[in-house]
């Protein structure tokens, strides 16, 4: 049986669209599936390689928000075994141009491609906010005006976070090699969150010295290898919390935490609340497509 991609539209208005996209690794169009129909920011739930046309590839994992102009040419390459899974928020061209111009005045020179960065770092508070917003939209808890306001603010925050990258000069050759090493290390860490590789093992896979790997990774990612792995695990935990039933001890073990208490402490430190408190907020609707149809007919 040929695997199918699944795209569910959770909300739509003249200026704003919200949806989820899931594409298995073995889908025949995995490399190019998911045409960009609007000016969008996407929050990965898994890790893939993304390469915008004419740019270097980068690891799109839950610590990154990817940014696309309408009809943005790009390709994806498999990294995580469960393929590409993202939540996306899209705005119309007039809204995209207005948001970008308020944050990055130079974007007014290219009104049909106002988003001048391909990705932005995603802070824990922003990741938690978008996940909570997406869940509340899916359950039909928010009126249209609130959804539109929240999405516009969300897009603006992503562009602000990505602005330094938009202004960054061309990376010299010797620093480009460091950037490629940092991305390769991110890819290795994202392959299996339940396993904590030793530093020597990870450095051996990447064919560099442990010291060089530690120094370069922190320079380009702003955190250590271990801190990055913990961030990935905590964000993956939001997936597990949405499952029914969600056993916190089992979830902690599945994600590679040494204990329930270790998991809870790491989660609270990064998300500002214990995991037990977020379970009800993130509870899934049974069928996003059916829920959307029900709201339209109401």
Secondary structure (3-state) at 172: coil
In a structure prediction context, what are the per-residue pLDDT tens digits for the chain, which is 298 residues long? 455 667 889 999 999 999 999 889 988 888 886 568 899 999 999 999 999 888 889 999 999 999 999 988 899 999 988 889 999 999 999 999 999 988 888 898 999 999 999 999 999 999 999 999 999 998 888 889 889 989 999 999 999 999 876 565 556 777 888 999 999 999 999 998 988 888 888 999 999 888 889 889 988 888 999 899 999 999 999 888 887 666 888 899 999 998 889 999 999 999 998 898 888 788 765 554 444 444 444 4
Same CATH fold assignment for domains 6-168 and 173-278 = no
pLDDT value at residue 279: 81
pLDDT value at residue 121: 94
Domain ranges in the chain? 6-168, 173-278
Q: Secondary structure of 78-97 in the HEC alphabet?
A: CCCCCCEEEEEEEECHHHHH
pLDDT value at residue 32: 81
pLDDT value at residue 170: 56
Q: What b/e sequence results for 112-132 when a residue is b if at least 16 CB atoms lie within 10 Å of its CB, and e otherwise?
A: ebbbbbbbbebebebbbebbe
CATH superfamily, region 173-278: Homeodomain-like (1.10.10.60)
Residues 190, 232: Cα–Cα separation, whole Å:
7
For the domain with range 6-168, which CATH number is right: 3.40.50.12280, 3.40.50.2300, 2.60.120.10, 3.40.50.880?
Answer: 2.60.120.10
Instruction: Check if the beta carbon of residue 70 is closer than 8 Å to that of residue 54.
Output: no
pLDDT value at residue 6: 76
pLDDT value at residue 93: 94
């Amino acid at each position: 049986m040929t695997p199918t991609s699944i795209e569910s539209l959770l909300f739509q208005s003249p200026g704003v669209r919200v949806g989820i996209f899931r594409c298995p690794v073995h889908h025949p169009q995995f490399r190019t599936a998911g045409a960009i129909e609007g000016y969008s920011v996407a929050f990965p739930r898994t890790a893939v390689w993304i390469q915008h046309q004419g740019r270097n590839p980068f690891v799109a994992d839950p610590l990154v928000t990817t940014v696309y102009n309408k009809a943005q040419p790009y390709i994806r390459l498999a990294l995580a075994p469960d393929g590409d899974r993202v939540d996306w928020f899209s705005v119309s061209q007039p809204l995209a141009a207005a948001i970008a111009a308020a944050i990055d005045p130079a974007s007014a020179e290219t009104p049909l491609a106002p988003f001048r960065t391909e990705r932005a770092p995603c802070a824990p508070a922003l990741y938690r906010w978008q996940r909570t917003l997406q869940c509340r939209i899916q359950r039909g808890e928010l009126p249209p005006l609130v959804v539109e306001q929240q999405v516009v603010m969300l897009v603006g925050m992503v562009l602000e976070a990505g602005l330094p990258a938009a202004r960054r000069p061309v990376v010299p050759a010797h620093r480009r090699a460091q950037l490629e090493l940092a991305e390769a290390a991110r890819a290795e860490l994202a392959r299996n969150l339940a396993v904590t590789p030793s530093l020597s093992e990870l450095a051996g896979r990447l064919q560099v010295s442990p010291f060089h790997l530690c120094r370069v990774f922190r320079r380009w990612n702003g955190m250590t290898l271990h801190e990055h792995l913990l961030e990935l695990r905590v964000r993956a935990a939001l997936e597990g919390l949405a499952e029914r039933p969600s056993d916190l001890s089992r979830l902690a073990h599945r994600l590679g935490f040494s204990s329930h208490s270790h998991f809870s402490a790491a989660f609270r430190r990064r998300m500002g609340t214990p995991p037990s408190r977020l379970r009800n907020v993130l509870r899934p609707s049974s069928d996003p497509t059916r829920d959307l149809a029900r709201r339209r007919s109401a």
